[in-house]
Amino acid sequence: MSPSSAPTAAPTATRPAQVPFAAALGRFGGAPAVILRDRVLSYRDLSARVDALAERLGPVPRLVALAASNDLGSLVAYLAALAGGHPVAVVPADKPQALDSLLAAYDPDVVLRGGAEPVLEERRRGSIHVLHPDLALLMSTSGSTGSPKLVRLSHANVQSNAEAIAEYLRIGPADRAATTLPMSYCYGLSVINSHLLRGAALVLTDHSVVDPCFWEDFRTGGATSFAAVPYTFELLERVGFANMELDGLRYITQAGGRLDPGTVRRYAELGAERGWDLFVMYGQTEATARMAYLPPHLAATSPGSIGVPVPGGSFRIDPVPGLEHGELVYAGPNVMLGYAEGPADLAAGRKVTELRTGDLARQTEDGLYEVVGRRSRFVKIVGLRIDLGRVEAMLHELGVQSAAAGTDERVVVAVEDGHDPVLLAKLLSQGLGLPRGALQVMPVDALPRLENGKIDYPAVRALDTGEAAAPAGPAVPAETAAGAAPREDAKAIFRDTLDLEEVGDGDTFVSLGGDSLSYVAASIRLEKALGHLPADWHVTPVGRLVPQATAPSAPARRWRPARPAPLETGIVLRAVAIVCIISSHVGFFSWQGTAHVLMAVCGFNFARFQLGGERLPRLRRHLVSLTRIVVPSVAFIALAYAVTDRYTPANIALLNAIVGPAEITEQWHFWFIELLAYILLCVAALLTIPWAHRAERRFPFGFPLALAGVGLLARFGVLDPQVPHTMPVLWLFGLGWAAARARAVWQRVLLTAVAVASVPGYFEDDPKRNAIILGGVLLLVWLRSIPVPSALHRPLGIVASASLYAYLTHWLVYPVVDDYGKGLAVLASLASGIAYWAVATRCMNGAVRLAARIRGGAGRR
């Protein structure tokens, strides 16, 4: 039945049931509720947004489908459904097939999508469904998204489990949780529920823990906790978490699968040293989220235990015939109503009162519970009962990461890291007593995982026959399906742009070491490859950067002007500034001041790309980025010195600003590059000092603002910057840095006030120049993007990428072409800069690759 023709249920005057905490958000008033990169939302603000959307959903309960990401729109949509009494099924927004499956199986009345604001698609005014008054939430089990089988959770389930979690974690108004897990996963929702219940705040982020931007958000937002699944700890090892300085961290929670006891003990001990706790937890979607937790003081001594039941819950162990250990059974107010396998089940009330977990467990002498296996993780082959968990444990003891699945015919084991599958199969066959033909070991680059980080066991089983499903994602672009050349993929673009051999699905542009020079080049190719350029693509895991589905071909239409689409302000300013700089020097038109705007853009980009990680890795990234500026600059200036008589060795050494002539001569041509190099070098050195490193981490907005303040002392002549022949620009760099760190409106207002107070008079008797500088800085402070016709995105991106090189080359190019026309001189200068950009980038990339090979060879020796 189509949505348009479906009958609707008659409205009822009865007020629908609500989840209490979602309906009473406003009671916390002005306390912070949601901390975003660009602003902070109070509980009062959040409540107003939730109430407004709940009113749009209407008083009659309707079945809601929510395609959710970790963004404000998704959060508001979820809370509005709970507060308005509308049963909501939550699926991941980045898995279109999950929503398609839900629509086909349940025909929801309303579809909600997230984003900056929630998007409501009303499929009918009322509801065609009979919805039980207790039904609040529908969730897939264990991260599955293709099955119509859903867990039915009540208002009381959601509320009681949030209360239990908040009690044993001692969550209070001062707590702030970073959202490391997706909202479509019950563990991720439990973090949201338990914190909003107690008036705590959410640092709302969709970044992975491997992204420096995640830790920037963590520190900037004052986060006190984050949630982790076992795979998260593998990622934490990669980013050097043990050496991070996280002064505000109070605890880490872990669930979503068994964590190796050695890892539990190690992180518990690390937490004891650093002043934070590790809460190992146990749960299932069928119990809303959590059933047990291990008190932190026991984590180091009982690392294999799941601990004790959550407040209000209880366990018992029922014998299982033929097995040494019994099945763990849980009872508590958070146990689900039952399963739904189709729309008719939505009318059902409670069908279960306790949860048979399917886990085999034992209780230790000290009263703790310990899971020792899984009933469904046994297969019976040639009369032998094989514990698949034991297969993985055997390989783990050998240092092999693996995942085992199978049927009563064969065990299939996926192994990582290039281990010899023949040798491993032989060892397992002997250890398990299985015939060799009943065991298949398959090497994989990475273990297949679900969205929530758990192993995708159906995908492991499919390896046996080669029928593994292709990764879920948008449809193949039409031009590929039609036989045209396929688009580049994001991994190939990142490998080429950043000179890398391997790029993983969880890597991002920033985590891979991308900087402002490679950013624009990568964005141009990525937009062409994807058909669009996602917001914050530079901090989006590469596995999620997939092409948009291409709509079926439509009849040819008349040409229409390209619609404006947002292009990042920094890219626009870089492109416009270099055109204005060259045009002013050529005399095509005069629009001076944009070079100083570029200095603020440099500070902005420095904050975005250069501040992630710890001190020494960050210094290495700073020096690499500085090298990419200095080397092509010195090479070109040396060429200019050789072919003209305008420059001196001081220019080649980038020292003219210090030792050059006081009067303005041609030797001043490269002042911008010289001062930028000085600033970047000094800031990099400053941030290697422990107290400065800690201060930048603790005060991400205040630190650059203080740096701008120091620069203002030089700007107003209070301090002598010891760079005698140029005007001070450190304060502009600091303002740009602070602009990138500004999250709240008051911070932007403060930066605006500083700019308005300091820019006028910077160039005496040149108010137009000062106005251009002020305008550029304010654009950077207030606008993250500027609408630009999409047809201009690529040309502007190319010009922005080549801006440094065009600045260098135009000094030699335009005097040669000037006699043929000012406009032609500008175009020739830009073209020469683009050409030098292409050549210099290729040479630098080759040097980087060569250095990597040399280091690799030295390491092998």
Q: Show the 3-state SS of 270-326.
A: HHHHHCCEEEEEECCHHHCCCCEEECHHHCCCCCCCCEEECCCCEEEEECCCCCCCE
Across-strand partners of 32? 42
Q: Which of 462, 477, 495 is where one domain is finished?
A: 462
- Asked if 83 and 61 count as a contact pair (C-beta separation under 8 A), the reply is no
pLDDT of 861 reads 45
pLDDT beyond 90 at 678: yes
- CATH value at residue 398: 3.30.300.30
pLDDT of 851 reads 64
Direct distance between the N- and C-terminal alpha carbons of the chain, in angstroms, rounded to an integer: 70
pLDDT of 469 reads 34
Same domain, 50 and 157: yes
Question: In a 10 Å sphere around its CB, with 0-12 CB exposed, 13-18 middle and 19+ buried, how is residue 813 labelled?
Answer: buried
Question: In a 10 Å sphere around its CB, with 0-12 CB exposed, 13-18 middle and 19+ buried, how is residue 792 labelled?
Answer: middle
pLDDT of 663 reads 78
Same domain, 433 and 581: no
- What mean pLDDT, rounded, does the chain reach? 84
- Asked if 359 and 373 count as a contact pair (C-beta separation under 8 A), the reply is yes
Give the confidence band of 481 by pLDDT, cuts at 50, 70, 90.
Answer: very low
- CATH value at residue 183: 3.40.50.12780
pLDDT beyond 50 at 554: no
Give the confidence band of 9 by pLDDT, cuts at 50, 70, 90.
Answer: very low
Nearest to 75 by CA among 116, 30, 105, 21: 116
| Separation of alpha carbons 755 and 423, rounded Å | 67
pLDDT of 383 reads 53
Structure tokens at 841: 């980038």
Nearest to 440 by CA among 455, 451, 462, 425: 425
Q: Pairing between strand 225-228 and 251-254? A: parallel
- Asked if 714 and 721 count as a contact pair (C-beta separation under 8 A), the reply is yes
- The least confident of 170-174, 508-512, 668-672, 689-693 is 508-512
Give the confidence band of 533 by pLDDT, cuts at 50, 70, 90.
Answer: low
pLDDT of 536 reads 63
Inter-axis angle of helices 230-238 and 261-274, nearest 10 = 60
> Is residue 13 included in any domain, yes or no?
no
Higher pLDDT, 589 or 493: 589
Cβ atoms within 10 Å, residue 766:
13
Single-letter amino acid, residue 381: I
Mean pLDDT, to the nearest integer, of 214-224?
91
Across-strand partners of 277? 251
> Is residue 849 included in any domain, yes or no?
no
- CATH value at residue 494: 1.10.1200.10
Mean pLDDT, to the nearest integer, of 254-277?
92
Give the chain's domain count. Answer: 4
| Separation of alpha carbons 138 and 288, rounded Å | 10
| Separation of alpha carbons 567 and 519, rounded Å | 13
List, for residues 693-729, the tens digit of each pLDDT value: 888 877 888 999 999 999 999 999 888 777 776 788 9
pLDDT beyond 50 at 13: no
pLDDT of 555 reads 40
Return the exposure string of 28-66: e unless at least 16 CB atoms fall within 10 Å of the residue's CB, then b. beeebbbbbbebbbbbebbbebbbebbeebbebbbbbbb
| Separation of alpha carbons 301 and 126, rounded Å | 56
What percentage of the chain exceeds 70 in pLDDT? 84
Same domain, 392 and 536: no
Q: Which of 427, 462, 497 is where one domain is finished?
A: 462
Structure tokens at 280: 């190992």
Most confident of 208-212, 418-422, 830-834: 830-834
Single-letter amino acid, residue 463: L
65: helix, strand or coil? strand
| Separation of alpha carbons 62 and 84, rounded Å | 10
- The least confident of 357-366, 505-514, 541-550 is 541-550
Mean pLDDT, to the nearest integer, of 357-380?
84
Higher pLDDT, 501 or 364: 364
pLDDT of 205 reads 92
Structure tokens at 329: 């059974």
Question: In a 10 Å sphere around its CB, with 0-12 CB exposed, 13-18 middle and 19+ buried, how is residue 422 labelled?
Answer: exposed
pLDDT of 556 reads 40
Any residues with CB less than 8 A from the CB of 264 and at least 6 apart, and which?
254, 278, 280, 299, 300, 303, 304
pLDDT beyond 60 at 12: no
Give the confidence band of 625 by pLDDT, cuts at 50, 70, 90.
Answer: confident
Same domain, 640 and 769: yes
| Separation of alpha carbons 592 and 579, rounded Å | 11
Same domain, 608 and 753: yes
How far is C-alpha 238 from the geometric centre of its chain's CA atoms?
Answer: 16
Nearest to 568 by CA among 738, 788, 854: 788
Q: What order do you get walking across the sheet with 411-415 strand by strand? A: 402-406, 411-415, 439-443
pLDDT of 613 reads 58
- The least confident of 333-337, 435-439, 504-508 is 504-508
Give the confidence band of 472 by pLDDT, cuts at 50, 70, 90.
Answer: very low
Same domain, 367 and 428: no
List, for residues 100-156, the tens digit of each pLDDT value: 889 999 999 999 999 889 999 999 989 999 999 999 999 987 444 446 789 999 999
pLDDT beyond 70 at 299: yes
pLDDT of 551 reads 37
List, for residues 157-198, the tens digit of each pLDDT value: 999 999 999 999 999 999 999 999 999 989 999 999 999 999
Which domain covers residue 519, as residue numbers?
487-545
Mean pLDDT, to the nearest integer, of 254-266?
89
Nearest to 463 by CA among 445, 446, 441: 441
Higher pLDDT, 557 or 678: 678
pLDDT of 3 reads 41
pLDDT beyond 80 at 525: no
pLDDT of 476 reads 34
pLDDT beyond 80 at 432: no
Single-letter amino acid, residue 581: I
Same domain, 594 and 735: yes
pLDDT beyond 90 at 482: no
> Is residue 359 included in any domain, yes or no?
yes
Same domain, 674 and 779: yes
Higher pLDDT, 143 or 587: 587
> Is residue 771 included in any domain, yes or no?
yes
- Does an H or E element contain 137, and which? strand 135-140
> Is residue 856 included in any domain, yes or no?
no
Q: Which of 462, 478, 506 is where one domain is finished?
A: 462
Nearest to 251 by CA among 282, 283, 226: 226
Nearest to 94 by CA among 183, 177, 178: 183
Mean pLDDT, to the nearest integer, of 23-37?
94
pLDDT of 786 reads 87
Mean pLDDT, to the nearest integer, of 347-363?
93
pLDDT of 558 reads 43
Any residues with CB less than 8 A from the CB of 860 and at least 6 apart, and which?
none
pLDDT of 358 reads 85
Give the confidence band of 474 by pLDDT, cuts at 50, 70, 90.
Answer: very low
Mean pLDDT, to the nearest integer, of 559-573?
72
List, for residues 194-213, the tens digit of each pLDDT value: 999 999 999 999 888 888 88
pLDDT of 515 reads 66
> Is residue 757 included in any domain, yes or no?
yes
Same domain, 364 and 387: no
Q: What is the DSSP string of 409-457?
A: S-EEEEE-TT--HHHHHHHHHHHHT--GGGEEEEE-SS--B-TTS-B-H
- The least confident of 356-360, 523-527, 753-757, 763-767 is 523-527
- The least confident of 45-59, 65-79, 379-393, 826-840 is 379-393
pLDDT beyond 70 at 32: yes
Same domain, 252 and 319: yes
Residue 652 gets the label, from left (phi > 0), alpha (psi -120 to 50) or beta, of: alpha
Higher pLDDT, 410 or 753: 753
Mean pLDDT, to the nearest integer, of 726-734?
90
738: helix, strand or coil? helix
> Is residue 9 included in any domain, yes or no?
no
> Is residue 675 included in any domain, yes or no?
yes
Structure tokens at 348: 């059902």
pLDDT of 115 reads 87
Same domain, 793 and 728: yes
Same domain, 439 and 525: no
